[in-house]
Amino acid sequence: MAALASTESLQLMLQVTGLSMHFPVYKGLMRRQIGEIKAVDDISFHIMRGETLGLVGESGCGKSTAGRALLKLYQPTSGRVELDGTDVTALEGEDLRRIRTDMQMIFQDPQACLNPRMTVGSIIAEPLDEHTRLSRRQKRQKARELLDAVGMNPDYENRYPHEFSGGQRQRIGIARALALEPKFIVCDEPIAALDVSIQAQVVNLLEDLQQQHQLTYLFISHDLSMVRHIADRIAVMYLGKLVELASREQLYQSPQHPYTKALLSAVPEPDPEKEAIRERIILQGDVPSPANPPSGCNFSTRCPIAQEQCMRETPAWRELEGGRYIACHMVQ
Amino acid sequence: MKKALLCTAVAAGLFAGPAMAERGTDGQLKILYWQAVSILNPFLSSGTKDIEAASAVIEPLAKYNEKGNMVAILVDEIPTVENGGVSEDLKSITWKLSDGLVWSDGTKVTSADVAFTAAYCMHPEGGCAQVSNFTDVESVEEIDESTVKVNFSVAKPFPYGPFVGTQSPILNKAQFADCMGAKAPECTDANFGPIGTGPFMVSEFKANDVVSYVANPNYRDPAKPAFASVILKGGGDAASAARSVLETGEFDYAWNLQVEPEILNQMASAGKGKVVSSYGTSVERLMVNLSNPDPALGDKRSTLEGGPHPFLSDIAVRKALSLAIDRQTLVDVGYGSAGQVTCNVLPAPEIYASTANDACKTQDMDAAKKLLDDAGWVPGGDGIRAKDGVRLSILYQTSTNSVRQATQAIIKQWWSELGIETELRNIDGGVFFGGDQSSPDTFQKFFADIEMYTNNFDGTDPEKYMANWLCSDIPSPADQWLGSNMPRYCNPEYDALVAKMGSTAKLEDRAALAKQMNDMLMQDVAIIPLIHRGGVSAHANSLEGVKMTDWDSELWNIADWKRAK
Amino acid sequence: MFNYTIRRLLFAIPTLFVISFLIFAILDLAPNDPTGNLPLTIPPEVRENIRISLGLGEPFPIRYLKWCQQFFINEPLNLIEQWFDISIGDSENRLRVQSWATRSPVVDLIVERLPQTLWVLGLSYVIGILIAIPIGVISAYKQYSIFDQIGTFISMVGFSVPTFFTGLVCIVFFSSTLGWFPSIYDTTHEVTDLASFWFQVKQMIMPVMVLALFNASQLSRFMRASMLDNLSQDYVRTARAKGLKERSVLLIHVLRNSLIPVVTVIALGLPQIFAGAIITEQIFRVNGLGQLLIIGIQGADIPLVQTLTFIFAVLIVLFNLIADILYGMLDPRIRYE
């Protein structure tokens, strides 16, 4: 269980305000812009130091895009991202490069995200070339330490990524992300591509590392039970927008947003008695295209309790009591 | 007084001569042959490019000048019956080498070299390409060091086959002694750099690319050649060869410019060089198949046994075909300065050229139609003339070549105006002229009604050429289709004339016989001559002394070439 | 890897024998007569004698075996003798593959021409690569930019317009009109000082550039496609997330990985240096192997054509192997056993 208790960690680590990421759509002979995909549309939240924020939602809802935009792997269309008080979105070039030592990412596909032509050792040590003035030996030493830290044999440093299994590759990806001793890590579905048996190992590793290195995580996943296990607070995303954000206990015990309710109803209960009476909420229809979202509330087309207002007005992102947030007209 | 003046003039000339033209003062001469030279031994190659490239180095006893007359080269005078050089029975000829002749390596030229050359080419295993020059040679005797006598097995009214003309130069015995017969191809060094008596000697030879020559220090005329060195580059195509002389001026001389007349004229307008042409004996002609090429005849197809041609055996049809052709148009379209209209299959030299057939020079479509009408060939429903169920439908074949295909198309149009249907066919030259027994498409097999190609004869004597159309020379399976009488023309009167020429020595009489034979072929329309083809070359304005000839190598007088001052 | 190479080489031997037989058979079946291009004045008996003196009198299998003996045994022995200046056995009477047109050993002709081919065509290949790689990289990196559009257009033109046309245009423009460069390659030229070096450069510029542009347009497309492929890979994003300089991302991660397929394409294309530039050599009269082949074909010089074609076949087989081995060396995911 992640630690949220100590008072010093109750400082703000990341403050996101009105972040949007729109991709233009081109078409035709002259490649004119005919519209845009609102992958991430005006989202705001914060993460405290040492905390793990889970970001959940269906595939294609924009969670990964949000994670990448946070790290400025994309240039966001608008909004602010403050990491430890520095506005990341405003940074360019050398300044941006320097701040990358503070924020790292662990990717979903551990196979594709490792350069197939580099040895594990050089993949891990490469950021050290760019950002530190360590000697060759020191860098090598550091790479071996990191391998050791993620539970791998340091002698593997001269091997190539394709020689490892998926779980091992993900460990390499984690070691690589840790190399620069970042404060904040975006974990973009780090376990989605792994076998279930390996998933728990990797999540436990992430938790251990969080303790050791005082890390702050944004944990992106579509697996609600895994998020429940690791996250302190959870944000739910639908079609580019946040719909609900609450602490883990609040969210799982009393979900407010109809979409959250539907999502949670799909999670099987470990207790067979509860499972027997679990009531599944089946959503009607398909997720609308982000290129052409519905007017009003994005969820209005599938919402079981939608009213006429929902079709017209976009619900505001507002704070409820107890530090929880929601975007729904129907919830008071 | 007068005599004294003359003496002074001669003296002045003598002194001025060497002062003006001294050996090797004009630098480098650059010649371009778009067919690259492969070998410098003309006995092992009959490619014109190879023979001509060798002609700057090795020389025959006598050459032909630009008018087709013989000029003495390594001898002081041409042997004739009159001067006693040719025996009365016409069975031997005695050549006497000039005094003091030396090879480029300084050794003496002797009659042994001449006799060796004959032995070299006549060796049965040597595959000598020029062996036809030695036809009927029985022996070559060395009378003394500088006198050589050629004995023939039969009376030779024209005994100038061996050792005359570029195809029959004299080799250095010392150099080629070990290269007889089957060994001939293995003597690469000798074949690539023969020692000669000519104005130049080979300094470097890159096969299929370039020959470099330098002036021969032992050349018999101390004032020549004017050029110190020659580069003879090969390869590419005719159009770009013309461009390099006429437009860019990179080269001094370009050979055999088979380029469309329009393009050549346009290039010449750049003003850097001149286009020159010369006419030899080449005639582009239509051969009329007098035998029946019907495939139904099987083995007898296109042979005498197969019977006469269903309609070309009618002389009226053959005459009409010839009359319908406007030869001048063909010249303008395809040949330009490389062709002129001719009505003879033997167009040159001048003494042999008949004027009896000149009527063909003008097209007369009405006369042609009338001929056919009178002979009973009348247009059928489809516009094609026919008689007794035989339609005038011609298969007309030739080798693949853009000019030939243009000519075919034009002629087809004229013939269709006449009411004759023509199907055109072209065959790759390597197949058409290659004597492959198994191919049905050779010009000898002639499985068509009309075929078109060019033929000529070497040197100036037409005796052998006119003997092409003997009855006994008709191609057939019996002689592996090797005969030369493509029209399958068989006329005992003609055969008699050929025999008579073989025993006539006097030039005027020979000329009269040749004309008579030519006229016989023309009036029987066994052959329809179209164009007297010439060679076209180009030389830079700064190059003087070029006397282009079709009777010999274009480089025959390269010793006299010099830079314009 | 070593075992793999050896095994591939051993497999290549029967393949090459089959190829040599096929070439020989095809050339023999082709209706081509070495005396076909001779003047018609040469009588048929003389033609027949010439054919026999060229060895055409013997039946096909004998001729093939003779060629094999000459090419696979006599010629290598001769080469060894020349290199080490020794004599093995009866070297005087050992028959070499003889060209019909020049009556000289074919291998000597090839050796004489090899340097020109390597210089002119090798240089054009190197220049082509040097042009193609930056263009491909920039085109892909700035996809759909003006640079990319122009690059695409030029490479399409360069690729689709044949070299004999560009060569001719160059000659007409630079030689005839401007008079800057010679239109005919002087193969007897020797570089001795700065001036003659400059002349050598001038006469090489046109053939080299015409071919280089052709090669470059082809390769730059490959390079661009390969770069685009890799640019969208996750590891590139990883590299960016690591905070690497954009240069390092592009050159170390993307370019290196994109070069793997391009390097193999380059290796596979190398035999073209010897064979593919036939027309360019002919136009500029560079005395390379391609021109030799053309002259051989025109003159029905079967031994020359046979030997050259076979050497090209050997090169193609060899460079295929080299490409495979290079791939294995460059890409750690591939291991040959």
CATH number assigned to the domain comprising residue C188: 1.10.3720.10
Q: What pLDDT does B16 receive?
A: 40
Cβ contacts below 8 Å, chain A against chain C, sum to 70
Helix (H, G, I), strand (E, B) or coil at B64: strand
Look at residue C48 and tell me if it is in a domain.
Answer: no
Band of pLDDT at residue B17, cut at 50, 70 and 90: very low
Predicted confidence band of residue C41 (pLDDT cuts 50, 70, 90): low
Residue C65 burial (C-beta neighbours within 10 Å; 0-12, 13-18, 19+): exposed
CA pair distance C10, C46, nearest whole angstrom: 46
Does C143 contact chain A (CB < 8 Å)? Answer: no
Band of the pLDDT at B18, cuts 50, 70, 90?
very low
Enumerate the residues of chain C whose CB falls inside 8 A of the CB of residue A115. 235, 238-239, 253, 257
Does C76 map to a domain?
A: no
The order of strands in the sheet holding A216-221 is: A103-106, A184-188, A216-221, A52-56, A233-238, A241-247, A325-326, A318-319
Nearest CA in chain A to C253: A115
For residue B2, name the pLDDT band (cuts at 50, 70, 90).
very low
What amino acid occupies position C12?
A
A68 near C CB under 8 A: yes
Rounded Cα distance between B485 and C44, Å, is 13
- The whole-number pLDDT of residue B393 equals 93
- Stretch B485-514: mean pLDDT: 90
Cβ distance of C287 and B192 shorter than 8 Å: no
Q: Which residue in C has a C-alpha nearest to residue A94's C-alpha? A: C245
C54 CB neighbours in chain B (<8 A) are 127
Per-residue pLDDT reduced to its tens digit, C168-185:
888 888 888 888 888 888
Q: Do chains B and A touch (3 or more CB pairs under 8 A)?
A: no
Question: What contacts B389, CB < 8 A, 6 or more positions away?
Answer: none
User: Which pLDDT does position A9 carry in this prediction?
Assistant: 45
SS3 A55: strand
pLDDT in tens, A164-174: 888 888 889 88
* pLDDT value at A4 more than 60: no
Average pLDDT rounded to a whole number, residues B147-156: 91
Specify which residues C98 forms β-bridges with.
C105
Residues of C in contact with A31 (CB under 8 A): 144
Q: What is the rounded CA–CA span in Å between residue B171 and residue B115?
A: 10
In this model, does residue A150 exceed pLDDT 50?
A: yes
Q: Of B403, B406, B402, B383, nearest to B393 (Cα)?
A: B383
Nearest residue on chain C to A179, alpha-carbon basis: C242
Q: Crossing angle, helix B238-246 and helix B261-268, to 10 degrees?
A: 20
Q: Please, what is the Cα angle at A299 between A294 and A304, to 5 degrees?
A: 125
Q: Determine the residue among B248, B439, B452 to mutate to test chain C binding: the one whose Cβ has the most chain C Cβ atoms within 10 Å.
A: B248
pLDDT at C91: 65
Q: Give dist(CA B405, CA B407) in Å, integer.
A: 5
Residue B209: closest CA among B44, B45, B35:
B35
CA C135 – CA C140 distance, rounded (Å)? 8
pLDDT mean across residues, chain B: 88
| C203 within a domain of the structure (yes/no) | yes
A162 touches chain C (CB under 8 A): yes
Inter-chain CB proximity B207 and C109 less than 8 Å: yes
Q: Domains in chain C: how many in total?
A: 1
B119 band by pLDDT with thresholds 50, 70 and 90: very high
Local structure of B186: helix, strand or coil: helix
So what's the pLDDT on residue B3?
Answer: 43
Nearest to A113 among C235, C256, C330 (CB): C235
Type of residue found at B145: E
Neighbouring-strand partners of residue B206: B210
In this predicted complex, what is the ipTM? 0.77
What is each CA distance from C92 to B139, C87, C103, C104, C107, in whole angstroms?
33, 9, 16, 15, 16
Kindly determine whether residue C42 and residue B46, on different chains, have CB atoms separated by under 8 Å: yes
B520 contacts: CB under 8 Å, gap ≥ 6:
B491, B493, B494, B497
Per-residue pLDDT band for A3 (boundaries 50, 70, 90) equals very low
Contacts for C63 with CB less than 8 Å, ≥ 6 apart = C24, C28, C55, C56
Instruction: Decide: residue B42, CB within 10 A, 0-12 exposed, 13-18 middle, 19+ buried.
Output: buried
Asked if C233's CB is within 8 angstroms of A130's CB, the reply is no
Is C88 domain-assigned? no
Share the mean pLDDT of chain C: 84
Please give the model's pTM, rounded to 2 decimal places. 0.74
Q: What are the beta bridge partners of residue B70?
A: B64
**Closest chain C residue to B430 measured between Cα atoms?**
C36
Is residue C247 in a domain?
Answer: yes
pLDDT of the residue at C40? 63
- The domain of C212 spans 113-330
Could you give the CA distance from residue C329 to residue A236 in angstroms, rounded to a whole number? 47
Residues A257-281: pLDDT tens digits?
999 988 888 877 777 887 777 778 8
Q: Which residue has the tokens 């590139």?
A: C236
Do the beta carbons of residue C270 and residue C128 sit within 8 Å? no
pLDDT digits (tens, 9 = 90+) for A222-264: 888 888 889 999 999 999 899 999 999 988 888 889 999 888 8
Nearest to A113 among C234, C243, C331 (CB): C234
Amino acid at B211: V
The pLDDT tens digits for C187-245 are: 888 888 888 899 888 888 888 888 888 889 889 989 999 999 888 888 888 888 888 88
Q: How many CB atoms lie within 10 A of CB B478?
A: 11
Best residue of C230, C235, C331 to probe chain A, by most A CBs closer than 10 Å = C235
Q: Give how far B417 is from chain C: nearest CA, Å.
A: 33
Residue B518 pLDDT exceeds 50: yes
Q: How, if at all, do strands A184-188 and A103-106 pair?
A: parallel
Domains of chain B are 281-457+525-534 (3.10.105.10)
Tell me which DSSP letter residue B502 carries.
T
The position carrying tokens 């020159």 is: B276
Tally of residues, chain A:
332
Neighbouring-strand partners of residue B396: B424, B450
Cα separation of C155 and C153, whole Å? 6
Contact B163, B96 (CB under 8 A): no
Phi, psi (5° rounding) for residue B245?
Answer: -95, -45
pLDDT classification of A6: cutoffs 50, 70, 90: very low
The token pair that represents B145 in the structure block? 């060091």
Residue from the list C144, C241, C257 with its beta carbon closest to the beta carbon of A115:
C257
**pLDDT-based confidence at B188, cuts 50/70/90?**
confident
| Per-residue model confidence (pLDDT) at position C37 | 63
Q: What is the mean pLDDT of residues B91-118?
A: 92
Give me C218's structure tokens.
Answer: 């082809």
A137: Cβ–Cβ under 8 A, 6 or more apart, which residues?
A: none
Residue among C134, C43, C57, C54 nearest C102 (CA): C54
Residue C36 has a pLDDT of 66
pLDDT over 60 (residue C276): no
Which residues on neighbouring strands pair with residue B287, listed in sequence order? Answer: B451, B527
- Check residues A118 and B434 and name the one with the higher pLDDT: A118
Q: Residue B235, by phi and psi: left (phi above 0), alpha (psi -120 to 50) or beta?
A: left
Q: How far is B127 from chain C (nearest CA, A)?
A: 4
